[in-house]
Structure 1
Amino acid sequence: MLGKGRAEAIGDRDIALLADDMGVHPADLEAIAKVESRGFGWFKDGRMKILFEKHWFHKHLSGANRNKAVRLGLARKNWISPKRGGYKEQSSPGARYNLLKAAIEIDEEAAYRSISMGKFQIMGFNHGTCGFVSAKHMFVQFVDTEVQQLRAFANFLRENNLTSAIRNRDFETVEEVYNGGGLGGAYARRMKKASDALRAGKWKDYQPGQFARVPELSPEPARVPVPEPRPEAKPIPRDVEDVVRDVAAEDRVSTTEVGGGLLGAGGVIGVAKEAVDVARDARGVFDGIDGQTLLTVLPWAAVAGLGFWIWRERRRHKKKARAAAKAAM
């Protein structure tokens, strides 16, 4: 759903740490959020708070797109105050997001530039000042967490030289720069009233530095040695079964006889077993050689043993053939 994400909220500690960094009172920072969004960046349905500004959408469009937006009631040249019905189509979260969706269909980036968003209701066209590559990028990050909204707020105040005004509680200047002027001091008066209440209430006992700063980056975890990858066992180049068939065909004996020779006590398997038994009893022969290496080497040793067995069996068959020929003479 557009506007819905993790919706992580920040707390008093986050506001206080920013105040410490800027050398201002946290009540004066929070007062801005109180006026802009009632101090919370999310609607009850979990979507981020936004307000669509039709006069800004008009400014960010041109040509056919602007004409289309005006025709659809999404853009107008001049700002109209709430008292005069300028925001009558935005009485609910759904209505506000419907306007945004319709605007996105005309020009996505212009649409995101034309909304104020989050806890501090920063306009999307301020994305560069706030540290984002585009208005859409800012929107996506804001939807995830108020931490990003707070960082953007800090960047906006610093880049617009509002630190001194906030420190001196010059809310008229804050209103002029933050809200673009034209409000006749209405927001300034509301900010001062909210600040006074916060200073007398939740921030009454605030002292700079009272909140311990937690490093943003956790210590590098202890390095765990990563074992080197084991070499893969190389396949035997020729299947034993194929060798058995070849030997049987060449010497005109059955595969059963040849197979029996392989599996018998005197065959290559029997010889290999015997060799393993001897090696197991030998001290130090395989020191430093792991099981995977043995698995790699032994198949090749088996091939060599098979070759020797074939040579031996052929000699035996030839001797039997010569003996049989002599007996027949």
Structure 2
Amino acid sequence: MDFRGKAQPLSLGAVARAAAALHCEEAAIHAVIAVESRGGFDRQGRPKILFERHYFHRLTNGRFAANHPDISARQWGGYGPASRQYDRLARAIALDREAALRSASWGMFQIMGDNFAAAGFTDVEPMVAAMMEGEDRHLQAFCAFVTARGLADALARRDWAAFARGYNGPAYAANRYDARLAQAYAAASGGPCAAEAKAPRSAISRRGWA
């Protein structure tokens, strides 16, 4: 499986419809996109992913850690460049396909495969198939996930700390996830600090893309 599908871009009006469904501003959704991916597909037409070795470690009870510490470890990190993520995923798939797919964050909103149910899917395989199809499916999964996790109100209020805690995890502050969301929102809405928010990032970060 080469993870190449239709890779369709967002359709006209998709973000507006999603914002109406979540009762938030379009700029708030664009802020999440800017921080998480800046677009759902890589140059080869595959969904952008970030492979999380600590998820794979947990889902496989650590049985591959001794021989494969770069893809199975208790602690998060060790990502390497974006260009290596599918290589890492392929190695994990050779060991345990389901756990591997669940251990990557997928697409425009970098939703973990392990969260397939909250994103509106019956299993991780149909989630991955949807991620290959197009960015509208990424957006649908985001809406389902935000609703299931009770994060719609925080997104609507632009309470970035509360949203970051629920979306990115308890370590969000260490990654300045809330601050980056606020800056990205400012850029998307044309507010203060817009120029700063548009500054490029130089390295891959936890559940984010360069």
SS in 1 for 2:105: strand
SS in 2 for 1:43: coil
Aligned residue for 1:137? Answer: 126
Aligned residue for 2:117? Answer: 128
Aligned residue for 1:45? Answer: 44
Report the TM-score, using the length of structure 2 for normalisation.
Answer: 0.85
SS in 2 for 1:51: strand
| Greater helix fraction, Structure 1 or Structure 2 | 1
Q: After the TM superposition, which residues 97-112 of structure 1 pair with which residues of structure 2 at under 5 Å, given as runs? A: 97-112=86-101
Aligned residue for 2:203? Answer: none
Question: In structure 1, how many angstroms separate the alpha carbons of the residues matched to 2:109 and 2:161?
Answer: 17
Deviations 1:142-187 (CA, angstroms, capped at 9, x unpaired): 1111121111100001111111101111010111110112131601
Runs of 4+ with >2 A deviation: 66-70
Is 1:87 matched with 2:86?
A: no
Structure 1: which amino acid aligns with 2:125? K
Is 1:77 matched with 2:66?
A: no
Question: In structure 1, how many angstroms separate the alpha carbons of the residues matched to 2:48 and 2:141?
Answer: 15
Question: In structure 2, how many angstroms separate the alpha carbons of the residues matched to 1:187 and 1:200?
Answer: 20
Report the TM-score, using the length of structure 1 for normalisation.
Answer: 0.55
Deviations 1:183-228 (CA, angstroms, capped at 9, x unpaired): 3160111111111111118xxxxxxxxxxxxxxxxxxxxxxxxxxx
Aligned residue for 2:139? Answer: 150
Query: Measured at CA, do residues 25 and 53 of structure 1 come closer, stay the same or move farther in structure 2, by a change above 3 Å?
Result: same
- Structure 1 residue 92, shift from structure 2 partner: 3.9
Aligned 8 A contact 2:160 2:182 in 1:
yes
Aligned residue for 1:171? Answer: 160
Question: In structure 1, how many angstroms separate the alpha carbons of the residues matched to 2:190 and 2:85?
Answer: 35
Aligned residue for 1:118? Answer: 107
Aligned residue for 1:257? Answer: none
Structure 2: which amino acid aligns with 1:47? R
Structure 2: which amino acid aligns with 1:72? H
Aligned residue for 2:184? Answer: 194
SS in 1 for 2:50: strand
Query: Measured at CA, do residues 70 and 145 of structure 1 come closer, stay the same or move farther in structure 2, by a change above 3 Å?
Result: farther
Aligned residue for 2:23? Answer: 23
Query: Measured at CA, do residues 165 and 136 of structure 1 come closer, stay the same or move farther in structure 2, by a change above 3 Å?
Result: same
Query: Measured at CA, do residues 72 and 146 of structure 1 come closer, stay the same or move farther in structure 2, by a change above 3 Å?
Result: same
Query: Measured at CA, do residues 92 and 188 of structure 1 come closer, stay the same or move farther in structure 2, by a change above 3 Å?
Result: closer
Aligned residue for 2:201? Answer: none
Question: In structure 1, how many angstroms separate the alpha carbons of the residues matched to 2:117 and 2:55?
Answer: 17
Q: How many residues matched?
A: 189
Is 1:34 matched with 2:34?
A: yes
Aligned 8 A contact 1:2 1:97 in 2:
no
Question: In structure 2, how many angstroms separate the alpha carbons of the residues matched to 1:11 and 1:193?
Answer: 25
Q: Higher relative CO (CA 8 A, sep ≥ 6), structure 1 or 2?
A: 2
Deviations 1:211-246 (CA, angstroms, capped at 9, x unpaired): xxxxxxxxxxxxxxxxxxxxxxxxxxxxxxxxxxxx
Structure 2: which amino acid aligns with 1:68? F
Aligned 8 A contact 2:104 2:113 in 1:
yes
SS in 1 for 2:64: helix
- Structure 1 residue 140, shift from structure 2 partner: 1.3
| Greater gyration radius | 1
Root mean square deviation of aligned Cα: 1.5
Aligned residue for 2:59? Answer: 60
Question: In structure 2, how many angstroms separate the alpha carbons of the residues matched to 1:194 and 1:72?
Answer: 36
Question: Percent same amino acid among aligned pairs?
Answer: 34
